[in-house]
Amino acid sequence: MDPISVVVTALAAGAAAGLKPAAEQVVKDAYAGLKAFIQQKWQQVSLGQLEANPTSEARRSVVQEDLERIGAAKDRELLALADRVLEAVSRHAPDTARSLGVRLEDITGGGSLRIADVTAGDIGVDARKVSVQGDI
């Protein structure tokens, strides 16, 4: 996935997990940190609609477009916060990740993996123990 797709997936996963009453505090905290970072650094990126309906592809696309336009892919802190959310969701709310259409586990290697246009209501991509040497 490209960096902005990772951020948008983390936002959607964190928002979706946070909507559940039994969401683990670690997921809520990781999501709150990512959301606060974006809101403080780029006020023009509106997260409210995505937060209201995190499974909406259209709402994710708007946030992705906003983040691409401002060049957020170059922000290492943003990417680290997104990774933290995805890790927390993976460990503490795995059903949430499945409902968003992508589940990735143990992806390693020196290449790149790009996943695009997943519009599943349940698992659309399920990749485990993948070692990427070239580009996929």
93-116 pLDDT, tens digit each: 777 766 665 556 666 666 556 665
Q: Is the CB of residue 82 less than 8 Å from the CB of residue 7?
A: yes
pLDDT recorded at residue 32: 95
Whole-model pTM: value is 0.72
Model confidence pLDDT, tens digit, residues 2-43: 889 889 989 999 998 877 777 788 999 999 999 999 999 999
**Residue 132, φ and ψ in degrees, nearest 5:** -100, 115
Q: Is 107 left (phi over 0), alpha (psi -120 to 50) or beta?
A: beta
Model confidence pLDDT, tens digit, residues 115-132: 655 544 444 566 666 676
pLDDT recorded at residue 122: 47
